[in-house]
């Protein structure tokens, strides 16, 4: 249908859900109405839990399709295709639940492009409902805009509703819904005029379109659906009573939790305490380098005890270091003591909820903590970890919880952090069963997904899938066991015939049960992989890779490569779509040189973390900082010394002059602490640091000077800022002027870009483990695994002046000593050049 709509710009999102498995097809048609070729970009936000399965684009009747490959092989193809440079497609984090897929392509004048992106996911039941989320952000009115969803649930729909978070409610009547017992259709199709926001001038619709639903549930063994040799079993019986909870809240009060984080923690804890059931038992442990208990034993959640605990929660104060090991072991001891002394009901569930914003920097090392906790818990209780903020060592907490029947959740440091804390507790505060196992006849099934679970919580669902060895489902028996409160012993162990449903063929897409099985299997294999992070090519990873390639899923082990077409004088090139993981540090986007004994900082977007190193050399030395052969972009920097040289003392060095060239755009900048000279296509422009605001627009080049800073935008290439600082030593009546260089956007540069900074422009991955107290007080040392090397690093604070040129912002980073040896390619001396404009 799309191919015949030649005169329209189109955005169409169609989601088909069959038995909780969702397949979304996003189609976008854009027409280049200009008289010259121009770049058309696509940006799509998709759920983090989804796997991209296909991407293609059609230009002038020719289709360019994506191909899923092993990540390392895809990277080699990508490097070969764009060794001379072009923009690359990326997938990056976008908020809490979404990640961004983006790419761009040159389209000839009068031509159009049709993008088609397909992704799949298994909808997760949380707090009694499933959720389909579509992010809507219209940057210009679209002639045809449509979101549509078709839901088919053979066991029956309990409810279906659609809501939106748009700036105005005037669009809500445009949401259309039709519903039968087993099927629902929801659509939203605003016209180009309706896409504008009357209450917000110069803005278009922007927000989330959310569909929520649940299914009808019968007493018994759940529902089994079978299609083409595979089955899926949904287990969430409606008639189970809640099991009382014994919970210990372990709260990090170390120095890094100071300010808003601690205030939000207090608010969240107080709100959680108010939701405790009167048959629950609880305790509060706070920790820094010392462990402090509200009480030395579990306490029944009476109104009086909760009121007393609330006062204590409001009084929690900041301490110093972070001893996670002792804190968690104290919680384990308290729960064991409650059992031994029969303070808690025999039919109850024990759990620990750990909230921290960082890594342990006192007490035991990371691997020892994981071993200590695993040995102490011994499978008898659950550990849930809440990682506060972006700098938290997520992979450490993830392993800690997975090994102890729990999960890890990141808490974002936004204004609603307290609500996030309470929301997580609501998910896990009402266990219905523990130690759940679903068993099937050995001769009837094979290749089962995970069928043993630590808990079944109210409002959630257990999903098991597998391959059928035959077609005889008439006597398909299911055996369910678990600990609960259904009988005097608190256990259930039942066997019976399950209801098998065969979905109507007209409402299923392909072999959806097989793809659902593959989706679940890959997800669970990836979880196993994290338990053996130092052996990522183990059996679990190899199996996950094979299945990702077989079923065309973009997972953390694969990438999708699309070769873009050649238009006019551009090069053939490819882009890669990758799958993010919550615990991976990658894809840097802000890169800086900061002041004082030249500090290099590689910041990580979306994470309060960075890598940093210093370069110490003689005044007059010139370093190549970035060079891109494709575009001819290059930056060289010259080191200057302190004006007043002091014998037998440390004499700081700085960057005092930068030479920037861009051969394709014909630009040359000579920036010193005195003034700024710009040469552009035969013209000489001179700018002064004292200028308040001066804008010089020369075709594809924009210059902006503002209060001792220079911002340069080289269209379709790079954007950077140079800041002029003046340091004053009142004691010696001395001043020193020097420069800082900040790369603000470099994603258009080719993959071959290099230099002291340029080598990091397309991302770097690393892992930090084994934190231990450093030689300098209040600074932690650790081991970093990067580029196949193990480096000793130290936690440092550096200054970022890109947002505030006077005061700056403190940036937490991992410092690599010895001139960045091991972090940078080669040694620092390899980057020296004879003059400021040497190519």
- Give the pLDDT confidence of 65-74 residue by residue, as tens digits: 888 888 777 7
- Out of 159-163, 498-502, 806-810, least confident range: 498-502
The model's pTM: 0.68
Residue 564 lies in a domain: no
Work out the average pLDDT over 36-43.
74
φ and ψ at residue 719, rounded to 5 degrees = -130, 130
Work out the average pLDDT over 758-766.
80
Provide, rounded to the nearest whole percent, the portion of the chain with pLDDT above 90: 32
Residue 83 lies in a domain: yes
Other residues' Cβ atoms within 10 Å of the Cβ of residue 48? 17
Contact status, residue 594 vs residue 578, Cβ threshold 8 Å: no
Work out the average pLDDT over 638-657.
75
Is there a single domain that holds both residue 159 and residue 42? yes
pLDDT score of 569 more than 50: no
Is there a single domain that holds both residue 424 and residue 468? no
Is there a single domain that holds both residue 416 and residue 474? no
494 against 345, higher pLDDT: 345
790 against 8, higher pLDDT: 790
Provide CB contacts within 8 A for 203, sequence distance 6+: 167, 196, 197
- The pLDDT of residue 491 is 59
Work out the average pLDDT over 404-418.
83
Is there a single domain that holds both residue 127 and residue 154? yes
Contact status, residue 440 vs residue 455, Cβ threshold 8 Å: no
445 against 570, higher pLDDT: 445
Of the ranges 53-62, 68-77, 284-293, 683-692, which is most confident?
284-293
Work out the average pLDDT over 735-757.
85
pLDDT score of 152 more than 90: yes
Domain boundary residue, one of 765, 799, 817:
765
Provide CB contacts within 8 A for 193, sequence distance 6+: 141
Is there a single domain that holds both residue 325 and residue 470? no
Of the ranges 210-219, 327-336, 341-350, 536-545, which is most confident?
327-336
User: Could you tell me which of 751, 677, 666, 674 has the C-alpha nearest to residue 714?
Assistant: 666
- The pLDDT of residue 311 is 96
Is there a single domain that holds both residue 414 and residue 447? no
Q: How many domains does the chain have?
A: 4
Contact status, residue 773 vs residue 361, Cβ threshold 8 Å: yes
Domain boundary residue, one of 369, 398, 429:
429
CATH number at residue 359: 3.40.50.410
Residue 785 lies in a domain: no
Read off the pLDDT band of 591 (50, 70, 90): very low
Is there a single domain that holds both residue 134 and residue 196? yes
Provide CB contacts within 8 A for 354, sequence distance 6+: 250, 252, 324, 327, 328, 331, 383, 384, 385, 386, 397, 400
**pLDDT 10s digits, 461-479:** 999 999 998 776 767 788 8
pLDDT score of 89 more than 90: no
Is there a single domain that holds both residue 398 and residue 452? no
Distance in Å from the first CA to the final CA of the chain: 52
Element (H, E) at 465: strand 462-468
**What is the overall mean pLDDT for the chain?**
81
pLDDT score of 88 more than 60: no
Read off the pLDDT band of 535 (50, 70, 90): very low
pLDDT score of 490 more than 50: no
Provide, rounded to the nearest whole percent, the portion of the chain with pLDDT above 70: 78
Token duo for residue 742 = 């900040």
Domain boundary residue, one of 429, 452, 481:
429
pLDDT score of 579 more than 80: no
pLDDT score of 776 more than 60: no
- The pLDDT of residue 326 is 93
Contact status, residue 687 vs residue 679, Cβ threshold 8 Å: no
> What is the span of the domain harbouring residue 165?
2-215
pLDDT score of 39 more than 90: no
Read off the pLDDT band of 811 (50, 70, 90): confident
- The pLDDT of residue 437 is 93
- Out of 162-166, 271-275, 556-560, least confident range: 556-560
Is there a single domain that holds both residue 403 and residue 441? no
Residue 567 lies in a domain: no
Is there a single domain that holds both residue 254 and residue 338? yes
- The pLDDT of residue 75 is 66
pLDDT score of 590 more than 60: no
Residue 167 lies in a domain: yes
156 against 748, higher pLDDT: 156
588 against 452, higher pLDDT: 452
pLDDT score of 488 more than 50: no
pLDDT score of 278 more than 90: yes
Edge-to-edge strand list for the sheet holding 144-152: 62-65, 51-59, 112-122, 21-31, 10-18, 144-152, 183-188, 175-179
Work out the average pLDDT over 142-161.
92
Is there a single domain that holds both residue 452 and residue 415? no
Residue 80 lies in a domain: yes
596 against 183, higher pLDDT: 183
- The pLDDT of residue 105 is 73
- The pLDDT of residue 577 is 58
CATH number at residue 80: 2.60.40
Please give the full DSSP string across 195-247, using - where no structure is assigned: TB-TTSTT-B-EEEEEEEEEE---SSS-EEEEETTEEEEEE--TTPPPPPEEE
- The pLDDT of residue 533 is 46
Separation of alpha carbons 621 and 613, rounded Å:
17
φ and ψ at residue 39, rounded to 5 degrees = -85, 130
Work out the average pLDDT over 601-609.
66
Is there a single domain that holds both residue 120 and residue 235? no
- The pLDDT of residue 747 is 77
713 against 210, higher pLDDT: 210
pLDDT score of 561 more than 70: yes
pLDDT score of 516 more than 90: yes
Residue 181 lies in a domain: yes
Residue 805 lies in a domain: no
- The pLDDT of residue 626 is 93
pLDDT score of 454 more than 70: yes
């Amino acid at each position: 249908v799309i191919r015949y709509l030649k005169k329209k710009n189109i955005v169409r999102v169609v989601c088909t859900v069959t038995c909780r498995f969702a397949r979304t097809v996003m189609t976008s048609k854009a027409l280049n109405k200009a008289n010259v070729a121009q770049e058309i970009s696509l940006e799509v936000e998709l759920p983090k839990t989804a796997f991209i399965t296909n991407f293609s684009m059609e230009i002038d009747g020719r289709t360019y399709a994506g191909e899923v490959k092993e990540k390392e092989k895809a990277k080699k193809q990508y490097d070969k295709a764009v060794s001379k440079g072009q923009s690359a497609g990326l997938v990056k984090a976008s908020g809490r639940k979404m990640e961004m897929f983006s790419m761009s392509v040159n389209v000839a004048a009068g031509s159009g492009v049709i993008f088609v992106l397909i992704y799949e996911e298994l909808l997760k039941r949380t707090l009694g409902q499933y959720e389909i989320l579509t992010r809507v952000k219209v940057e210009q009115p679209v002639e045809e805009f449509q979101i549509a969803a078709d839901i088919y649930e053979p066991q029956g729909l309990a409810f279906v509703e659609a809501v939106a978070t748009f700036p105005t409610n005037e669009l809500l009547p445009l949401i259309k819904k039709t519903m039968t017992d087993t099927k629902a259709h929801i659509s939203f199709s605003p016209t180009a005029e309706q896409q504008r926001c009357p209450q917000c001038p110069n803005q278009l619709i922007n927000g989330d379109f959310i569909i929520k639903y649940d299914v009808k549930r019968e007493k018994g063994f759940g529902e089994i659906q079978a299609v083409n040799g595979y089955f899926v079993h949904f287990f969430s019986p409606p008639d189970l009573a809640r099991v009382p909870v014994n919970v210990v809240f372990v709260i990090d009060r170390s120095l890094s939790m100071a300010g808003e984080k601690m205030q939000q923690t207090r608010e969240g804890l107080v709100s959680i305490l108010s939701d405790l059931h009167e048959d629950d038992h609880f305790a509060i442990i706070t920790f820094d380098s010392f462990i402090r208990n509200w009480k030395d034993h579990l306490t029944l959640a009476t109104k009086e005890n909760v009121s007393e605990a609330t006062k204590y929660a409001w009084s929690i104060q900041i301490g110093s270091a972070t001893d996670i090991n002792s804190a968690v072991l104290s919680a384990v001891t308290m729960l064991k003591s409650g059992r031994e002394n029969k303070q808690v009901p025999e039919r109850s569930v024990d759990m620990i909820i750990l909230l921290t914003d960082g890594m342990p920097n006192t007490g035991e090392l990371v691997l020892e903590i994981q071993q200590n906790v695993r040995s102490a818990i011994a499978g008898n209780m659950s550990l849930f970890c809440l990682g506060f903020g972006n700098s938290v060592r997520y992979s450490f907490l993830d392993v800690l919880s997975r090994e102890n029947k729990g999960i890890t959740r990141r808490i974002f440091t936004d204004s609603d952090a307290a609500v996030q804390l309470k929301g997580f507790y609501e998910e896990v505060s009402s266990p219905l069963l523990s130690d759940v196992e679903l068993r099937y006849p050995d001769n009837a099934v094979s290749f089962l997904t995970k069928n043993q679970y630590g808990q079944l919580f109210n409002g959630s669902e257990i999903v098991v899938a597998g391959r059928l060895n035959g077609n005889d489902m008439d006597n398909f028996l299911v055996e369910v066991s678990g600990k609960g409160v259904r009988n005097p012993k608190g256990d259930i162990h039942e066997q019976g015939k399950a209801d098998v449903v065969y979905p109507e063929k007209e409402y299923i897409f392909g072999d959806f049960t097989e793809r659902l099985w593959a989706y679940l299997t890959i997800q669970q294999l990836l979880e196993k992989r994290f338990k053996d992070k130092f052996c990522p090519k183990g059996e679990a990873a190899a199996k996950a890779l094979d299945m990702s390639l077989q079923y065309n899923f973009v997972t953390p082990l694969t990438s999708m490569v699309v070769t873009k077409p050649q238009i006019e004088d551009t090069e053939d090139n490819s882009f890669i779509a990758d799958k993010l993981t919550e615990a991976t540090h990658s894809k840097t986007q802000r890169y800086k040189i900061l002041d004082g004994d030249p500090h290099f900082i590689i910041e990580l977007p979306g994470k309060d973390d960075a890598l940093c190193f210093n370069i110490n050399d003689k005044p007059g030395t010139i370093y190549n900082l970035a060079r891109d052969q494709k575009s001819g972009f290059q930056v060289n920097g010259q080191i200057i010394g302190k004006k007043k040289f002091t014998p037998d003392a440390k004499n700081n060095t700085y960057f005092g002059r930068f030479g920037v060239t861009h051969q394709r755009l014909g630009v040359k900048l000579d920036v010193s602490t005195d003034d700024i000279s710009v040469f552009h296509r035969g013209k000489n422009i001179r700018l002064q640091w004292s200028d308040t605001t001066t804008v010089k627009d020369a075709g594809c080049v924009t210059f902006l000077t503002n209060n001792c800073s220079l911002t340069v935008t080289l269209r379709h290439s790079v954007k950077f800022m140079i800041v002029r600082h003046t340091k004053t030593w009142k004691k010696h009546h001395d001043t020193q002027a020097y420069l800082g260089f900040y790369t603000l956007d470099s994603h258009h540069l080719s993959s071959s870009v290099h230099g002291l900074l340029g080598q990091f422009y397309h991302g770097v991955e690393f892992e930090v483990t084994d934190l231990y107290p450093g030689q300098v007080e209040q600074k932690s040392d650790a081991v970093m695994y990067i580029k196949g090397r193990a480096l000793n690093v130290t936690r440092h604070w550096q200054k970022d002046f890109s947002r505030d040129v006077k005061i700056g912002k403190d940036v937490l980073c991992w410092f690599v000593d010895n001139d960045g040896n091991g972090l940078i390619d080669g040694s620092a001396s390899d980057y020296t050049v004879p003059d400021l404009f040497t190519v």
